[in-house]
Structure 1
């Protein structure tokens, strides 16, 4: 009986703004591929095998978010990682609290680095989120060590896989983000996704290969089939163990050329 009274009192206080739910969640921090792993499987195993025609050399790198906290960049440099992507923003209300340590720390140790944005297409327009990203760490400078920004397109962590959008609607949202980011920075945004998510949520509604580099997620020893209309990958996230690890499709001078634009 007492528990029922307490529950009723709590509900009444909540209704007038004097109490908060006991299960209130912390600010969102979804890393690259966090939802892809939930839907498509776990970390890759073994060393990636480059079976795709044209892959002659690669550069190894990592990506991080607020989950990693302060990163030991000297350690990862010693492990041969030469580039890093750092989460900057999500939607229009979240900024990575460790962004400065991660973004500047990777740069200071010698890595070529960039920033990424976890997209929530049901929250606001592509233009709104591109501007939020560009204004909060997602910018670009021609210093030879800053990569173009990334828009992370993957499964909705809060609900429907495709955020309630049709394939045409999702393609239009991505185009809006891409066009706005280019207007803000002068660079075409890199699109991070998986072939499975893209096939479900974008399909063949629009082709982006002519303008946007592809960062594909596939946790296996081979990259597999690429999303619609892309004939080649620029980055490949192949495992999340011990943290997200990636390859750049090309030699180091090509990675630097991408940074220089």
Structure 2
């Protein structure tokens, strides 16, 4: 793939930015928003963002911020409650955000087992193969189990403008989704900036196959 499709990811920290942007006044094609975290938290702007992303013409996605000290079943229940029983077929697959601040416990085997359980619950519920968001350090430290490879990786790497390093179970594979910056400005609002490794049609094909 040579063409890259541009997007951002947002949460309550971007306020009501989604109401001011669309596919006509930006060169963005997708917007991913935070839905939930742990077993009780729901982003206060999730419902508004989730609906507005579609109205503004973007491909959409939603993620759950995972904590290792919360059991996988109630975490998945929290995410599913926010998203509803039917996950849109034209959206990114469900995404789990697993990063440094997710790590609240020490038993790596338990962390791996619980995270795989969480992913499996979402896959069974929605019939979609979830995605994982992480960075190189966490990926190399915790996500080496080959069972993770089936889940497409959204890699965070702000230090390179060439192809990002793929960690853990994805070593040697081609990147799919890349969070390249956390300071992409739209007006005065800073956003996380993301690239999909393909054109818009390839993005839609990816979604259809995951």
For the aligned pair, the TM-score class normalised by the smaller chain equals 0.7 to 0.9
> Would you say how many aligned residue pairs link Structure 1 and Structure 2?
198
Shift of 1:109: 1.1
**CA radius of gyration, larger in:** 1
From 172, 175, 190, the equivalent of 2:113 is 172
Distance (whole Å) between structure 1 residues aligned to residue 18 and residue 82 of structure 2:
23
TM-score (norm. length: structure 1)? 0.71
> Contact between 1:140 and 1:147, CA under 8 Å: does it hold in 2?
no
Distance (whole Å) between structure 1 residues aligned to residue 95 and residue 195 of structure 2:
15
| Unaligned segments of structure 2, at least 5 residues | 186-190
Aligned residue number for residue 69 of structure 2? 122
Distance (whole Å) between structure 2 residues aligned to residue 149 and residue 175 of structure 1:
14
Say if 2:49 is the partner of 1:108.
Answer: no
Aligned residue number for residue 15 of structure 1? none
More strand, by proportion: 2
Superposed, which structure 2 residues align to 1:146-225 within 5 Å? Answer: 146-156=91-101, 162-200=103-141, 202-209=142-149, 211-220=150-159, 221-225=161-165
TM-score (norm. length: structure 2)? 0.87
> Contact between 2:22 and 2:57, CA under 8 Å: does it hold in 1?
no
| Unaligned segments of structure 1, at least 5 residues | 1-54
> Contact between 2:177 and 2:195, CA under 8 Å: does it hold in 1?
yes
Distance (whole Å) between structure 1 residues aligned to residue 10 and residue 83 of structure 2:
14
Shift of 1:168: 2.0
Aligned residue number for residue 188 of structure 2? none
Say if 2:193 is the partner of 1:254.
Answer: no
> Contact between 2:32 and 2:63, CA under 8 Å: does it hold in 1?
yes
